[in-house]
Amino acid sequence: MFTLKSAASVVAVAVASATCGMLLTAGSAEAIVNGQDSTQRYSFMASIPETVNGTGQHGVCGASLIDPQWVVTAGHCVDPSLVTPDGTIRVGSGFRSSGGTVRHIAKMVTNPGYLLSGEKPYNQNDIALIKLDRPVAEQPVRLAAWPGAPGTPTRLLGFGTVVDTNDLSRAVYAERLQELDTRRGADAECGTGYAGWSRLCTISPKPEAMACIGDSGGPQVRRGFDGRWELIGTTSGPGSSRPTCAGGPGLYSNVSAFSGWIRRTIHADR
């Protein structure tokens, strides 16, 4: 999802998207913004209900199952200065508040290099891992060895707001999982300094469509050589200085760049 600028000087896409998924729903209305209802089951899709600190508002972050007992999400989705996770994670459902498998959070591990945006327009090393209290039966998604060259077709998934806004109080979250077909952008297609080795610029061929509040931490995937989905990114925030989500690029943490840290963290906790 995108980081919350309104809740704590971050970027505004993840916690409700960047941080949360309020109790407002939109049925099958288009979301992500201007995505569409999911066209297949994504067993690895996970959602994290949260409360936005200082507001009492409920929201949601996305996450991806990468191991029977671990999910990966955005660092700002577990940042105690921004949000308080409600303590559970729903895995493998096409709906935000029903279905799938629900597990309790056993541990949260934020990348040691994570920093809130501060003077930069984006969070740094915006990635975290969450351990579930028990394994799930759903199939994890494979980590991509690399994200692919600019132009590579990708897909975004999330339960974020159907209204294009960076105002948390106006966000309306999708109950049905949404998807949007996108592509990897060149670094230059995002604002100056936004993209780089650890951050992926993401472009929507569809006008006025992109991840937004509530989509934070959710997956960006691409097809591997065998046709299976591979995880290349987690939703982090807007890829430019525009005031709202749609109409411009998105910024994603490059999961491939953090794969070593991910594997070491999981292995150390076996």
Tally Cβ neighbours within 10 Å of residue 120. Answer: 12
SS3 231: strand
- Return the exposure string of 134-167: e unless at least 16 CB atoms fall within 10 Å of the residue's CB, then b: eebebebbebbeebbebebebbbbbbbbbbbbbe
Mean pLDDT by 10 residues, the chain (270 residues): 37 37 29 83 97 88 98 97 96 96 98 89 94 98 97 96 81 90 96 94 94 94 96 95 87 97 95
Map 66-117 to HEC letters. EECCEEEECHHHCCCCCEEECCEEEECCCECCCCCEEEEEEEEEECCCCECC
* Angle of CA points 255, 261, 267, to nearest 5°: 120
pLDDT, tens digit (0-9, with 9 covering 90-100), for 55-66: 888 889 999 999
In angstroms, the CA 219 to CA 178 distance is 11
Beta-bridge partners for 102: 90
Q: Residue 177 is encoded by which pair of tokens?
A: 């999982």
At residue 169, the pLDDT reads: 79
Would you list the DSSP string of 28-53?
T---TTT-EE-SS--TTEEEEEEEET
pLDDT for 161: 87
Domains and CATH numbers, the chain: 5-23+42-140+258-268 (2.40.10.10), 143-256 (2.40.10.10)
In the chain, the amino acid numbered 169 is S
Give 89's contacts (C-beta < 8 A, 6+ positions apart). 46, 47, 48, 63, 71, 102, 103, 104, 105, 130, 132
